[in-house]
Structure 1
Amino acid sequence: MIEQRMSLAALCLALTLGLALAVPQGRLLGGEDAKMAEFPYVASLRLNKAHVCQASIISEMQMLTAGHCVSDVGAKPVEAKQLTARVGSINQFAGGDLVDICEVVIHASYGNFLHDLAIITLCEPLTFGEKINKIALPAPIEEGEVEEVPTNGTPVYVAGWGEQTDGTSNYKLQKANFNTLGKGPCELDAGYGYDSTLCLARAEKQGVCRGDDGAAVVDDDNVIQGVVSFFWGDCGTKYPDVSTRIVHYLAWIEANKK
């Protein structure tokens, strides 16, 4: 009888483990679902109707994303008519509104993932509310201020629909925590320390992945400090993820304001 109970317990354990292994394990971006209206500035950027990147609403008419997300060749963008954006939904496949895009401007110096930033102009203005709203831009750097803003070790957050550890993409928006890595430490860890980039530290087997490109890197004050640019090798390596540091591009953003 005891042996039968042990066998039954072992069988139940095996079935439980088998079911657990059958379900997609882990979320590479972080580990938890975003709540409705938690990130009202997040948009799913779609090329020919398929999600390719994130974009972040900065005004009723404009969004920020990574330059490589909308690049045809170098700083020449794809045709705007190929792009749409889903706003107001945490489901990348449904809900919210699909909006048309009329203009795309990539930073003129974009190349090799430096200056990896683009501004998207919508065809019609958004109506802001609980589920659709803008993210604040950082304040300009004052003369004499430390240029490395945010400073090393600042807690930041990213939300996106990128791939998980099993290679699939979650339909629901995911969120994760990071810490910024200063220019010096990032140069030491990855050989990529630039004033215009913002590196993100996290544990191995976590971090951004394909489809998270263009996502906002946001601090505790709900200010966008970076735009996700790239990761080294496969997702979740020991190397930090890299984003574009927004404070260095405020004049360019202002010059292209609509």
Structure 2
Amino acid sequence: MNDRLLPVIGYILLLVSVGQTAPGSLNGRIVGGEDAAKAQFPHQISLRNAGSHSCGGSIISRNWVLTAAHCVSYFDDDGELVINPASRYSIRAGSNDRFDGGVLLQVVEIVVHEKYGNFLNDVAVLRVESPFIYSASIQPIGLPSKNTPDNADIIVSGWGRLTHGGDIPRYLQWTTLTSLSLQECESRIKYGYPNILCLLHEADNGVCNGDSGGPAHYNNEVVGIAGFVYGGCGTTNPDGYARVYEFVDWIKAHTDIK
């Protein structure tokens, strides 16, 4: 473990799960968000663990979804990474309702970043059993063509808790956060890494449990993958996302995207 991370680990909460107890889960609306319009985020999916919503994700091709590594894996007592069986997971796409609508597809393959750990490289791709059929409500989102600028308005979406430890919304939520420089991220939460995207928000706003793996959007591209909050949901601390720009080559190497 990187020594510089030791003081903050106890205050960082992964955003996975909405009360499940299966391995890889923690006991997962956007805090301060609003209901998404129909087909506003046609790439957004609900990742289902044993039939229940646990994380978000993004359609990136007809066969692949982008999400967070911690949504589909855990570290055992020996510190070894264990990837959960793909058979446990399904994906609801094409609906803002986490209970109903759209289509349900079985996950058949999970690829987790080989350097995932310590809240870094928190990236995974999932292959579905049959291809997505594109429509107004089901569309892929592009990978970033350039690095995300500082101080930009970044839209985030998901089905995470409304407040820290609070209720889970039925319908997809969204809000707008602000990207920070690496220096500002380092100053605020000691996470000024090139592959981390820190998103700032006011109190009672931001992501929470159940938003994990979900997208941060900028210029119609997925620039972040929801990973963790620092000090609890809805604080004035920035939220931590995997910076997708740093993983474009890895994603292309492990999917059908060229």
Q: TM-score, normalised by structure 1?
A: 0.84
SS at match of 1:45: strand
Q: Does 1:239 align with 2:241?
A: no
Q: Does 1:29 align with 2:31?
A: yes
Q: Distance in 2 between matches of 1:112 and 1:62?
A: 25
Q: Deviations over 1:190-220 (max 9, x none)?
A: 111100000001001110000001110101x
For residue 64 of structure 1, report the CA deviation from its aligned partner: 0.4
* AA aligned opposite 1:209: C
Q: Deviations over 1:215-242 (max 9, x none)?
A: 10101x2111111110012201121000
* Selected match of 1:155 from 150, 153, 156: 153
Q: Does 1:179 align with 2:185?
A: no
Q: Does 1:112 align with 2:118?
A: yes
For residue 31 of structure 1, report the CA deviation from its aligned partner: 2.7
The answer to whether the 8 Å contact 2:48/2:90 transfers is yes
The answer to whether the 8 Å contact 2:49/2:89 transfers is yes
Mapping 1:14-93, distance limit 5 Å: 28-73=30-75, 75-93=81-99
Q: Distance in 1 between matches of 2:33 and 2:241?
A: 20
The answer to whether the 8 Å contact 2:108/2:128 transfers is yes
* AA aligned opposite 1:207: G
The answer to whether the 8 Å contact 1:67/1:75 transfers is no
The answer to whether the 8 Å contact 1:100/1:122 transfers is yes
SS at match of 1:231: strand
* Alignment size in residue pairs: 223
The answer to whether the 8 Å contact 2:31/2:233 transfers is no
For residue 30 of structure 1, report the CA deviation from its aligned partner: 3.1
The answer to whether the 8 Å contact 1:76/1:106 transfers is no
Which deviates more from structure 2 when the two are superposed, residues 72-81 or residues 119-128?
72-81
Larger-Rg structure: 1
What is aligned with 2:24? none
For residue 77 of structure 1, report the CA deviation from its aligned partner: 1.5
What is aligned with 2:207? 208
What is aligned with 1:22? none
The answer to whether the 8 Å contact 2:156/2:215 transfers is yes
Structure 1: unaligned runs, 5 residues or longer: 1-26, 142-148
Q: Distance in 1 between matches of 2:68 and 2:46?
A: 13
Of structures 1 and 2, the one scoring higher in RCO (CA 8 A, sep 6+) is 2
What is aligned with 2:104? 98
The percent of aligned pairs where both chains have the same amino acid is 38
What is aligned with 1:138? 144
Q: Deviations over 1:37-76 (max 9, x none)?
A: 1100000001101111001000000000010000043543
The answer to whether the 8 Å contact 2:32/2:204 transfers is no
The answer to whether the 8 Å contact 2:111/2:125 transfers is yes
For residue 100 of structure 1, report the CA deviation from its aligned partner: 0.4
The answer to whether the 8 Å contact 1:61/1:121 transfers is yes
Regions of 4+ moved over 6 Å: none
Q: TM-score, normalised by structure 2?
A: 0.84
Q: Indicate the RMSD between aligned Cα atoms, in angstroms.
A: 1.2
Q: Distance in 2 between matches of 1:152 and 1:209?
A: 23
